[in-house]
Amino acid sequence: MDVSSLKAVLLEGLATCDVIKCQSPFPEMEKSRPLWDNPLQFVFACISYAVGLGNVWRFPYLCQMYGGGGFLIPYFVMLIVEGMPLLYLELAVGQRMRRGSIGAWRTISPYLCGVGVASVVVSFFLSMYYNVINAWAFWYLFHSFQDPLPWASCPLNSNRTGYEAECERTSPTQYFWYRRTLNIAPSLEASGGLQWEQALCLTLAWLVVYLCILRGTESTGKVVYVTASLPYCVLIIYLIRGLTLHGAVNGLIYMFTPKLEQLANPKAWISAATQIFFSLGLGFGSLIAFASYNEPSNNCERHAIVVSLINSATSIFASIVTFSIYGFKATRYAPSLFPRVILLLTNAFDLEEGSLTADNLSAVQAHLAAAHPHAYAELLPQLKNCSLEAELDTAVQGTGLAFIVYSEAIKNMEVSQLYSVLYFSMLLMLGIGSMLGNTAAILTPLTDSKFIATHLPKEVISGLVCLINCVIGLTFTMEAGNYWFDIFNDYAATLSLLLIVLVETIAVCYAYGIRRFEKDLHTMIGHKPSWYWKIMWAFASPLLIISLFIFYITDYILTGTLQYQAWDATQVKVFDYPGYALAVIGLLVAASTMCIPLGALVTFISRRLKRENISTVA
């Protein structure tokens, strides 16, 4: 053998040595990374993070809007095309790189450190406003211990001659939410002062979150046992209670009858894709953080499938409960409208007592409309349509569903305090579980960075993060705070996440290389991923995310000005956002999306400078 071939062999050996050293999953110099006590803790942490309030208050609304049982078809298609592959990708990246989001993406390619920073920024925005929901849940939970629930009846007005005017016009539950809880201002501009009760509840919520993340995985691992399992216990109790309520079956039939014509509506598919995407919490860096605390040989493929299936199953489960509650409310409320309408008409037209019944109501209404058109027209706004379908058609989502509709239903159950306590504890557990993931996404990169970790202990870093978030979060406890909350809720995470996950998928598939990724997975799990995963990662998911992205951008452009819904003591009014609010929205979106190109640029420049330094020195 000649020397050149010997040299070639030696150089090749050196090259493989280099590769092994760079890609070693067990870097020698690393202080032992904290680990989950067992894989169950990891699965519970992921479930606790993914199963959040969106499963309870967004999915039933989507189901109702887009065709009932038929919505499950686009939902499952999107789960298979988008949800499972992207979840598996993030868990695998985290487990392989054993770093938080910034470190993990920097390891894949130094130009991608901006992706990690963008994830941290988005998580930071999310944790700022998300804990306010926990504060509201605490508020309602504490008020559930009163004997007649405070939202069961209207309070009296100042001279005790009747009920509070605002409450009379709306309903006790709406009054309690808008006035007693939020004390909402009529518009964004009228900021109002800080609500000290809400500020106290927010501080308590942050203290509880701090308690759970204080020791890192040690404390988080124990807490997720509770936050993952308690909501299911409560949902089961509510399912049994809900199904035995009078009228629940109406709601369930209404929900599950598929309206298949909705499948032709592109909005149904887009909503399904969006819901899967945001429900799993992709792109925040939380999943990467959780997976980085895994044993390298953990079977993340199985866990990814399990977590995504459980998340979807919980959504469906929660919507069954919600629809039985809807049915109960509607069946109870719609017939009670008849006496009210009869009384109204009888008083207005001085008819004989008992002449109007539920049967002849429509006929008499027609007669009155013809005979006294002017007087009847005046009454018309108060004569709401009292049919069951009309009641069931009122679709509510978000805080309205969780805090108004549910509390309305709870106050009509027997032993309402118990059900109220259970329900709001469940909301609290769901919210805290998601907060644990969010804070892990922020803290893991911070504690991984050697610079910060050597100067400050973990407890102090966690404390600082909680304190900063709490202070900024106090803005959401002002009178106009709910409008700022809506701004953050709608704009802080939506576009940025789509972009982040798109860049992540493309980076792993094309920059890192899908062959290399396959080999890493083979080392970790023991078998290579099947062709299904590879096709989804390489083609299907990126295409889907790009189309979602295009849809959102065109939607924003087409609607022109952004508007928000304000509550002015009786009804919802729609206003345009003022200039400074639009500026804040722009800032929110820009702050996270710009990190990606900026990170690449900074790395490029620093590398050029280093190369120039080396070339000038050498």
* Closest distance to other proteins from the beta carbon of 332 (Å): 19
d(CA 399, CA 64): 17
Query: Considering the rule CB under 8 A, would residue 22 count as an interface residue with other proteins?
Result: no
Tokens linked to 425? 């504890």
Tell me: is residue 185 an annotated ligand-binding position.
no
Q: What is the CA radius of gyration of the chain?
A: 28
Q: Which of 27, 103, 123, 107 is nearest to 446 (CA)?
A: 103
* Nearer to other proteins among residue 153 and residue 563 (C-beta): 153
Nearest alpha carbon to residue 154 among 136, 138, 166 = 166
579 part of the interface to other proteins, by CB under 8 A: no
Verify binding: residue 326, other proteins, rule CB under 8 A: no
Q: How far apart are CA 205 and CA 199, in angstroms?
A: 10
Tell whether 482 is in a known binding site.
no
* 434 in a known ligand binding site: yes
Q: 453 a known binding residue? A: no
Q: Which stretch binds other proteins (CB under 8 A): 154-162, 289-297, 359-367, 552-560?
A: 154-162
Specify the residue, 2 or 359, whose C-beta has the smaller distance to other proteins: 2
Report the nearest approach of other proteins to the CB of residue 168 (Å). Answer: 13
Euclidean distance between CA atoms 230 and 51, whole angstroms: 12
- Residue 144's nearest CA partner among 419, 556, 454 is 419
The Cα–Cα gap between 83 and 92 comes to 14
**Does 312 count as an annotated binding residue?**
no
Q: Is 208 exposed, middle or buried (0-12, 13-18, 19+ CB in 10 A)?
A: middle
Residue 9 binds other proteins, judged by CB under 8 A: no
351 binds other proteins (CB under 8 A): yes
Interface residue with other proteins among 184, 201, 440, 503 (CB under 8 A) is: 201
Nearest CA among 149, 176, 471, 125 for reference residue 285: 125
State phi, psi for 565 to the nearest 5 degrees: -100, 125
Among 28, 30, 261, 353, binds other proteins (CB under 8 A): 353
Cα–Cα distance, 13 to 402 (Å, whole number): 63
Using the minimum distance from each CB to other proteins, give the nearer residue, 181 or 274. Answer: 181
- Choose which of 23, 171, 265, 346 interacts with other proteins (CB under 8 A): 346
478 DSSP β-pair partners: 194
Token pair 């049915």 in the structure block, residue: 327
Note whether 145 binds other proteins by CB under 8 A. Answer: yes
On whether 229 is known to bind a ligand per the annotation, the reply is no
28 lies in the site for other proteins, by CB under 8 A: no
User: Is 30 an interacting residue with respect to other proteins (CB under 8 A)?
Assistant: no
* Shortest separation between residue 216's beta carbon and other proteins, angstroms: 10
**Nearest residue (CB) to other proteins, 149 versus 493:** 149
In the bound state with other proteins, the residue whose beta carbon lies nearer, of 248 and 466, is: 466
Verify binding: residue 611, other proteins, rule CB under 8 A.
no
Single out the residue of 321, 339, 327 nearest to residue 393, CA to CA: 327
Q: Is 163 helix (H, G, I), strand (E, B) or coil?
A: strand
Residue with tokens 């006294």: 372
DSSP per-residue codes, 430-444? HHHHHHHHHHHHHHH
Min dist CB 146 to other proteins, Å, is 5
Count the residues of the shown chain that bind other proteins, applying the rule CB under 8 A: 42
Residue 613 to residue 618: CA distance in whole angstroms:
9
For residue 218, the minimal CB distance to other proteins (Å) is: 9
Question: Does residue number 350 form part of the binding site for other proteins (CB under 8 A)?
Answer: yes
Minimum CB distance to other proteins, residue 570 (Å): 21
Task: Work out whether 14 is an interface residue with other proteins (CB under 8 A).
Answer: yes
The verdict on 412 binding other proteins (CB under 8 A) reads no
By the rule CB under 8 A, 162 interacts with other proteins: yes
Q: Which residue has the tokens 């109002």?
A: 192
The first and second tokens of residue 601, run together, are 């640029």
Q: How far is CA 525 from the centre of its chain?
A: 30
Task: Give the residue with the Cβ less far from other proteins, 214 or 413.
Answer: 214
CB 68 within 8 A of CB 258: yes
Q: Does 13 bind other proteins (CB under 8 A)?
A: yes
DSSP 476: G
Q: Binding residues for other proteins, per CB under 8 A?
A: 2-4, 7, 10, 13-14, 17, 138-139, 141-143, 145-146, 148, 155-156, 160-163, 200-201, 204, 207-208, 210-211, 214-215, 219, 343, 346-347, 350-354, 457, 459
Instruction: Provide the annotated binding site for Na(+).
Output: 50-51, 55, 279, 311, 430, 434
